[in-house]
Amino acid sequence: MKIKTLLEKIKPRFWDEANHPDQPGLFNYRRIWKLTVLCVSLVSITPLLVLSFMDYNLSRKAMRAEASFPILRLVSNTTLNVGTFLQEKSSILDFLVHNTEYVNLRSSDYLIDLLSDINASFGGFADLGVINSVGLQTAYAGPFDLEGNDYSREEWFNEVAQKNIYISDVFRGYRDEPHFVIAMKKYLPGNDWFILRATIDTEEFNRLIGSLNVRPSSDLFLINKQGILQTPSAFHGAVLERVRIDLPELDSDSAAWKADDDIDLRGLVECGSTDSSTVTIIESQESQKFLGCSLVEKSPFIVMAVKSQKELMQSWWKMRVELTGFMIISIASILLVILVTATYLVSRIHDADIKRTSALHKIEHTNKMASIGRLAAGVAHEINNPLAVINEKAGLLKDLFAYSDKYSKDDKLISIADSIIHSVERCSAITRRLLGFARHVDVEWKKVRIDSIVRDVLGFLDKEAQYREIQVDIETEGDIPEIVSDQGQLEQIFLNIINNAFAAVEDKGKINILISSYPQHIQVRVADNGCGIPPENLKQIFEPFFTTKGDQGTGLGLSITYGLVKKLGGDLSVESELGKGSAFTVCLSKKFNPAGSPDMNCH
Amino acid sequence: MIILLVDDELELVSAMSERLNLRGIDADYATTWKQALKMAEEKKYDLAVLDVKMPGLSGLELWKLLKKDYPEMKFIFLTGHTSQDDFKAGLNTGHKYLLKPISFDVLLECINRSLSDSPKKEG
């Protein structure tokens, strides 16, 4: 409701003048305004939107690349380190297998010495075991008594038998400590073979990974291909638990992540980082995290780094807010400027057009009045001369009767002559009025009092007011000074206007006359509570021969009144509401201003 | 008291002069400016009643000529119509200005007043 009132207040003048069927010279301003606003908005806002969108995408890409880079580096480094670690352990076993006699290795004592030696040199080995080709552990060095264990049914045994080298997942085993196994196969002469198996302490493994992960907010750990945690994770579960992240399925052949419908892989960026590893960066929209994964070659381990998007993308989000805010402010200000400018310009055009048409209208009206005036004057003149002759002849006739003895007593003849003279007088009154309409022959400038003239005029109409019980109120506002004008013409003006008011009101109606003094002019407002004037008639009301009274009116009354007021340098205006009444306002300049253009506006 | 009536409308001036004559006022009439000038030369008129609009010289122009030659002469103007300029010029002469058709009584009164305003040399 409030918005509606506000809109009503700021609504430009041309808004409700959308169509001028009666004034073909005027445009549909609302349409012009709409078109202008639409076109200018389109050409100015569209490029802004396109550029902003492009900038948004570019920035987003750049920011994401920047955000994913540390993960890439971390994962790549870790993969390299883990690979080196495993390589080192495998190399030790490889060395032992190839440089130690099988006979020696079959002895547990020798193995115990060997274990203590390599632990002293390299560290990280929990136990050593030798298993023959049927799966029997023939020698063992370590904290448990595992000698004689049969591994022929174990899966890893079959795998090492096929692949020659095997690195196991991390498991708890007998010691209930997370550890993993590296096993290596060695052929003996005579197609026999044996396996050297070593358990690697994950302690060192974990330390290595911990030392690589320097940021406390990110999480770095290993998982196996089934998604089981191999090293402790800070946020995503304990060792040997399933990692608490939704992962796409790993294609074990290509060591690459398959696209999974469950996870939004929109941000999947593949980056070849090192010769040995391929790092996959996944931006998970769901969990708001960046994942970096890489398979460690020749091992079941996958290095995984997880970083919260929030931390990485914080600057991007800030920038995004700024970018969006800037765009919204820009669009709002562009729209505001367009709206204000368009409204201003169209208003100016509208006002200029209105002024132009009203000036044209006025000129037309003046021309009309002038030609009617000329016509009337011509007619009056042509008639006046023969009238004068009739007048004189009739007068002479009357004189001749009056001065003759024979007819001087003949009242009938005298009265006939008198009636001719009287009729001529009536005709001459008509022609004078017509001449007065065209130009006011009898203008007699002298000091007059408007209020007393109005009262005098009301005196003429007293009888009618009493008879019809019309209430006529006359009020004065301020001190009404004398002005220089023409008494007779003013009487005519007020008589016409008040007469019209009498004609407009019903019996027992009301007429209110207000005479007020303004600095520049005196204003007389005659308001009635009569029938009012329809808006379509209001425009033509001062035009000559415009009448609504049919045969009873000449259509000259108000037109003559208007001409008279103008002649006296005044202004006449009318306002009316159908059914409620009309008000005619006469403004008369206080300055002596004969026939000049009115220098004031009627209120 | 002799009056000269000048109007191009013969019927008007003839009737008018006759009516004046009936009332014992000596009135002659002319229908052209030439005739009027000629008559003014012949007789000494106290008052001239001039129509403003006449063919040839207008009443105002005739007035100027008569005024020059006969400064004692009084004038009354008649007009059937007048443009604003004529009207103003007529007012400027300082003489009475009557609109046709005129009431004879008004004319008589004007004549009497014009003549009584000035000191009469004869009777």
Show the 3-state SS of A344-389: HHHHHHHHHHHHHHHHHHHHHHHHHHHHHHHHHHHHHHHHHHHHHH
Q: What is the four-CA torsion angle of A533, A539, A545, A549, rounded to 10 degrees?
A: -10
Hey, are the CB atoms on A385 and B11 less than 8 Å from each other?
Answer: no
**Percentage, residues of chain B above pLDDT 90:** 28
Question: Chain A partners of B16 at a C-beta cutoff of 8 Å?
Answer: 392
Q: What mean pLDDT is predicted for residues B50-56?
A: 85
Q: Using CA atoms, how far apart are residues A471 and A473, in angstroms rounded to an integer?
A: 6
Q: What is the four-CA torsion angle of A372, A375, A377, A379, rounded to 10 degrees?
A: -140
Single-letter residue type at A462: D
> Which of A374, A379, A384, A392 to mutate: most B Cβ within 10 Å?
A392
Q: Using CA atoms, how far apart are residues A552 and A492, in angstroms rounded to an integer?
A: 19
Query: Is residue A210 pLDDT above 70, yes or no?
Result: yes
Residue appearing with tokens 């002024």: A355
Contact A566, A593 (CB under 8 A): no
- Residue A405 — pLDDT band, cuts 50, 70, 90? confident
Hey, are the CB atoms on A441 and B99 less than 8 Å from each other?
Answer: yes
Q: What mean pLDDT is predicted for residues A523-542?
A: 85
DSSP state of A150: B
Which residue spans within B7-106 are E strands per DSSP?
Answer: 26-30, 47-51, 74-79, 96-99
Q: Using CA atoms, how far apart are residues A368 and A374, in angstroms rounded to an integer?
A: 10
Query: Which string of b and e fits A390-424 if b means at least 16 CB within 10 Å?
Result: bbbbbbbbbbbbeeeeebeeeeebbeebeebbeeb
At what angle are helices B59-69 and B33-42 packed, to 10 degrees? 20
Q: Using CA atoms, how far apart are residues B69 and A599, in angstroms rounded to an integer?
A: 47
Query: Is residue B17 pLDDT above 60, yes or no?
Result: yes
Query: Chain B: residue nearest A378 by CA?
Result: B81
Q: Among A223-227, A265-269, B68-72, which is the least confidently predicted range? A: A265-269
**CA distances, A528 to each of A273, A423, A583, A586, B14 (Å):** 97, 36, 6, 15, 54
Q: Using CA atoms, how far apart are residues A83 and A14, in angstroms rounded to an integer?
A: 80
Q: Using CA atoms, how far apart are residues A74 and A76, in angstroms rounded to an integer?
A: 5
Q: Using CA atoms, how far apart are residues A320 and A301, in angstroms rounded to an integer?
A: 38
Hey, are the CB atoms on A424 and B82 less than 8 Å from each other?
Answer: no
pLDDT in tens, A132-145: 888 888 888 888 88
Q: Using CA atoms, how far apart are residues A345 and A201, in angstroms rounded to an integer?
A: 85
DSSP state of A541: T
- Residue A597 — pLDDT band, cuts 50, 70, 90? very low
> Which of A382, A385, A435, A444 to mutate: most B Cβ within 10 Å?
A385
Query: Is residue A263 pLDDT above 90, yes or no?
Result: no
Query: Is residue A255 pLDDT above 80, yes or no?
Result: no
Task: Give me the pLDDT at residue A544, please.
Answer: 65
Arithmetic mean of pLDDT over chain A: 80
Handedness of CA A205, A211, A216, A217 (dihedral sign): negative
Of A377, A392, A393, the CB nearest to B81: A377
Question: Chain B partners of A441 at a C-beta cutoff of 8 Å?
Answer: 82, 87, 99
Task: Give me the pLDDT at residue A260, please.
Answer: 40
Question: Chain A partners of B103 at a C-beta cutoff of 8 Å?
Answer: 425
**Percentage, residues of chain A above pLDDT 90:** 10
Task: Give me the pLDDT at residue B118, please.
Answer: 54
The answer, for A183 touching chain B at a CB cutoff of 8 Å, is no
Q: What number of C-beta contacts closer than 8 Å exist between A and B?
A: 66
pLDDT in tens, A413-447: 888 988 999 888 888 877 776 665 555 444 567 78
The answer, for B92 touching chain A at a CB cutoff of 8 Å, is no
Query: Which string of b and e fits B62-79 if b means at least 16 CB within 10 Å?
Result: bbeebeeeeeebbbbbbb
DSSP state of A551: G
Q: What are phi and psi of A70, to 5 degrees?
A: -60, -35
Count of Cβ atoms closer than 10 Å to residue A155 Cβ: 10
The answer, for B16 touching chain A at a CB cutoff of 8 Å, is yes
Closest by CA to A294, choosing from A90, A86, A83, is: A83
Count of Cβ atoms closer than 10 Å to residue B42 Cβ: 9
Task: Give me the pLDDT at residue B14, please.
Answer: 92
The answer, for B10 touching chain A at a CB cutoff of 8 Å, is no
- Residue A499 — pLDDT band, cuts 50, 70, 90? confident
Q: Report how far apart the first and last C-alpha atoms of chain B are (Å, whole number).
A: 9
Query: Chain A: residue nearest B101 by CA?
Result: A388
Question: Chain A partners of B15 at a C-beta cutoff of 8 Å?
Answer: 389, 392-393, 395-396
Beta-ladder partners of A306: A219, A291
Q: How far is B24 from chain A (nearest CA, A)?
A: 12
More confident of the two residues A155 and A112: A112
Q: How far is A19 from chain B (nearest CA, A)?
A: 44
The answer, for A312 touching chain B at a CB cutoff of 8 Å, is no
Q: Using CA atoms, how far apart are residues B16 and A123, in angstroms rounded to an integer?
A: 159
Q: What mean pLDDT is predicted for residues A183-210?
A: 86
Question: Chain A partners of B11 at a C-beta cutoff of 8 Å?
Answer: 389, 392-393
Task: Give me the pLDDT at residue A513, please.
Answer: 93
**CA of residue A204 relative to chain centroid, distance:** 63
- Residue B97 — pLDDT band, cuts 50, 70, 90? confident
Q: Using CA atoms, how far apart are residues B102 and B80, in angstroms rounded to an integer?
A: 9
pLDDT in tens, A303-347: 888 887 777 677 778 888 988 898 899 999 999 999 999 999 988
- Residue A272 — pLDDT band, cuts 50, 70, 90? very low
Task: Give me the pLDDT at residue B18, please.
Answer: 92
What's the alpha-carbon Rg for chain A, to the nearest Å?
A: 57
Hey, are the CB atoms on B9 and A441 less than 8 Å from each other?
Answer: no
Question: Chain A partners of B83 at a C-beta cutoff of 8 Å?
Answer: 439
- 3-class SS of residue A190: coil
Pairing outcome for strands A521-528 and A581-589: antiparallel
The answer, for A400 touching chain B at a CB cutoff of 8 Å, is yes
More confident of the two residues A12 and A518: A518
Closest by CA to B45, choosing from B61, B29, B64, is: B29
Q: Using CA atoms, how far apart are residues B45 and A331, in angstroms rounded to an integer?
A: 95
Question: Chain B partners of A424 at a C-beta cutoff of 8 Å?
Answer: 101
Hey, are the CB atoms on A381 and B81 less than 8 Å from each other?
Answer: yes
Q: Using CA atoms, how far apart are residues A285 and A308, in angstroms rounded to an integer?
A: 11
Beta-ladder partners of A571: A587
Q: What mean pLDDT is predicted for residues B102-123?
A: 73
- Residue A491 — pLDDT band, cuts 50, 70, 90? confident
The answer, for A399 touching chain B at a CB cutoff of 8 Å, is yes
> Which of B5, B54, B100 to mutate: most A Cβ within 10 Å?
B100
Query: Which string of b and e fits A566-581 if b means at least 16 CB within 10 Å?
Result: bbbbbbbbbebeeeeb
- The secondary structure element, H or E, covering residue A137 is strand A137-141
Query: Chain B: residue nearest A391 by CA?
Result: B101
Hey, are the CB atoms on A403 and B22 less than 8 Å from each other?
Answer: yes
Closest by CA to A198, choosing from A83, A92, A84, A85, is: A92
Contact A247, A232 (CB under 8 A): no
Query: Which of A195-204, A288-297, A385-394, A454-463 tops mean pLDDT?
Result: A385-394
More confident of the two residues A98 and A274: A98
The residue length of chain A stands at 603
Beta-ladder partners of A513: A474, A526
Question: Chain B partners of A381 at a C-beta cutoff of 8 Å?
Answer: 80-81
Query: Which string of b and e fits A494-507 if b means at least 16 CB within 10 Å?
Result: bbbbbbbbbebbee
The answer, for B95 touching chain A at a CB cutoff of 8 Å, is no
Hey, are the CB atoms on A392 and B80 less than 8 Å from each other?
Answer: no
**CA distances, B35 to each of A26, A392, B61 (Å):** 63, 22, 14
Task: Give me the pLDDT at residue A37, please.
Answer: 92
Query: Is residue A535 pLDDT above 70, yes or no?
Result: yes
The answer, for A376 touching chain B at a CB cutoff of 8 Å, is no
Q: How far is B121 from chain A (nearest CA, A)?
A: 30
Of B12, B23, B78, the CB nearest to A389: B12
pLDDT in tens, A36-54: 999 999 999 999 899 989 9
Pairing outcome for strands A179-188 and A483-485: unpaired
Task: Give me the pLDDT at residue A106, please.
Answer: 84
Q: What is the four-CA torsion angle of A42, A48, A49, A52, rounded to 10 degrees?
A: 180
- Residue A258 — pLDDT band, cuts 50, 70, 90? very low
Task: Give me the pLDDT at residue A551, please.
Answer: 53
Hey, are the CB atoms on B82 and A441 less than 8 Å from each other?
Answer: yes
The answer, for A121 touching chain B at a CB cutoff of 8 Å, is no
Q: How far is A488 from chain B (nearest CA, A)?
A: 17
The answer, for B83 touching chain A at a CB cutoff of 8 Å, is yes
- Token duo for residue B84: 């604003």
Q: What mean pLDDT is predicted for residues A392-401?
A: 90
Of B9, B22, B87, the CB nearest to A385: B9
